[in-house]
Amino acid sequence: MSVEDLTEEDLQDLNIDPKKIEEPDEYKEYNDKLYGTPYVFGYQGLQRKVKKGNIEENKTLSNFLPMPIKKICKDNGLEEEGYLEVAAVLNNRMKLNPIRVNYNKIENMSWIYNPQWDLLPQIYPPKSNHKEYVYAAIQSLSNGIDKETIYEHTGFRKVNGKLVYLYHGGAIGESKDIKVDLDVIGLEKYQFTNKKYDIKESIETSLSILDLTKKEITIPLLALTYLAPLRSLFLEENIPLGFVTWLVGESGSQKSSLSALIVSHFGDFERDTLPGGFKDTVNSIEKKAFTLKDTLFAIDDYYPSQTLQEGKKMDAVAESLFGLYGDRQARSRMKQDGQTVKMGFSARGMCIVTGESFPNMAESRTARALIIEMARGDIDLQLLSQIQNGKDKLSFSMKEYIQYVIDNYESIKKNCKSKFIEYRNKANQDFAHGRIPEIIASEYMGMELFLEFANNKQVIPYEKMQQLKIESWNNLIKAAQKQSMRTEENRTDNMFFRAVQELLESKKIYLKSYKNHQREPDMSLVTFVGYYDEDKKRCYLLPNVIFNEVVKFYGIQGTKFPGNSTSTWKYLKEAGRLFPGEKDRNKTRKTINGKLVTFIEVMASDVFGTEERAFGDYLNKFPINPENHSKNISVDEIELPF
């Protein structure tokens, strides 16, 4: 029983004077925290001790005392952001739940109006500096409180000198008690299973994906899966990983289910819970691509748009994916001060996209994609269901694979550059674009390391590993050959002349004879684009007119023709399909009716389509200015990186 429970008669019996009993200090625990500062807290609120001469008085600042709990550093791998977790107690001793306040907003005190606090805290006027004093009290109370780091990205990271792999809720590796939070951006499903499975069964489950459908589909997908965690390692060795894997199939072909199964190596996903989609904004896609480091980002459902606006939005997302993953570029942004540039978000992992079709894009974009086609009926639905029921084993397999990479990081890193060059050279089979051998080399390295991991864990014997390596290489080369054909179709020169041929065939444009043009009637309802020289077997095309017709032709189909007129003529010349003019200019001049007229000069066979031309077919064959074609073609896209 305490003194407070005694009655007046009890006190008299005990010879205790009630007037000498001190009232309990209900604010003692708070004032203990404020000891050594010029602040006190009581029923009047937070007060500041002020001396006027020899007299000390208390000035009331607010009706609450801020109670800092811990400092939080949020680290996204590019920049750190500080937060203070702070609670509060009102002068009536009512406690307010903790909230998080960005360091940049603490001083202005606007955070006290957080909805969780229901406008209960107040800073008393009329003194404008009362906010400053409350802020000073927070700084005093923050001394010595705990500090924690919360990581906001996946992938490899050195923490306390140890290499770990981060995922939502934890990390793979030696370091413990690492906090990773992806919930804010909606990527909390990137979380490895906490269950323990038999490693042999888990790896076999992952390998069984190869039997879901044709190997030319499953091998590139499984290779991509085990390549994704190597992104940082490749970057350290300056190995390019610049491509988008695009899974194309009609509705009902199970492409989304297959994609979900692949990305379930990194978390818990279903076909309707994939982390990205074409209804997302470009900004959202960029932030997710940046956050998902050394992992696989799945973007679902590129479909035929119903409206022009919807199509433009989806194409904008597609274009951003090629910029992020194909070019590894980030969009820089200007800060609010109008002077400082803020670095943008670049992709730090790999991605897989599903769609009913592939966007109509230029050669440079097609070359940055690995397009995999599948059809309805390709998938073994019984096996698909079986793997889906045990998909936690996929996550466990990847978890063990990542630990294997950590344990062997330096040896893998030591050999990866030389291996990449070897495989890239081996894959270089005169494909339409220099990027294609790079894609095949990197994909094969992902599959190779996974198979070596499976052999190391005694899941597959050495002979089986070698057999699967050969099978993987052959199927990746098949994929490369198909990719090369698609890239060839989307080359600027082929697109240009294909459009000219169709426009002529459909009588949307017409040419006049260069020799007899004065005797040929004008076709007023059709666009005149130039002249045909029967003697030289060449055509002289009006540059602006023909370019506008070609752009219009593709625009009607919903396709953007790559580049502008200047870049197109440059490309045609470097491809050997445009005769240079004086001083190696892209345009030439001819006299028509006594006047000099500017044209582009091309082969008649290209215009009329007697045969499909390969890149550089006319190289060194021009009788005019042959010296201009004696040098190698210098199109940026086909230069190798080393």
Q: Which residues of 558-595 are buried (b: 16+ CB within 10 A; e: fewer)?
A: ebebbbebeebbbbbbbbbbbbbbeeeebbbebeeeee
Instruction: List, for the chain, all residue ranges whose pLDDT scores fall below the cut of 70.
Output: 1-8, 10-24, 126-128, 331-343, 362-363, 430, 432, 517-524, 610-642
470 neighbors 478 (Cβ within 8 angstroms)? no
pLDDT tens, 572-629?
998 899 999 888 899 999 988 888 999 999 999 999 986 544 433 333 333 333 333 3
For residue 617, the model assigns a pLDDT of: 38
For residue 73, the model assigns a pLDDT of: 96
Q: What are phi and psi of 350, to 5 degrees?
A: -125, 165
The Cα–Cα gap between 99 and 69 comes to 10
For residue 89, the model assigns a pLDDT of: 96
In this structure, what token pair is assigned to residue 132? 């400053």
Beta bridge partners of 512: 531
pLDDT tens, 433-490?
778 899 999 999 999 999 999 999 999 999 999 999 999 999 999 988 888 877 777 7
Count of positions (residues) in the chain: 642
For residue 15, the model assigns a pLDDT of: 67
Question: Kind of pairing, strands 244-248 and 179-180?
Answer: unpaired
Q: Which residues of 428-437 are buried (b: 16+ CB within 10 A; e: fewer)?
A: beebbbbbbb
The Cα–Cα gap between 555 and 380 comes to 40
For residue 642, the model assigns a pLDDT of: 29
For residue 337, the model assigns a pLDDT of: 58
Question: Among all chains, which residue has been given the structure tokens 């990027």?
Answer: 435
The Cα–Cα gap between 380 and 254 comes to 10
Of residues 29, 20, 31, 42, the one with CA closest to residue 3: 20
Contacts of 438 (CB under 8 A, 6+ apart): 240, 242, 243, 424, 641
Could you give the count of Cα atoms lying within 13 Å of 132 in the half-sphere of its Cβ?
Answer: 3
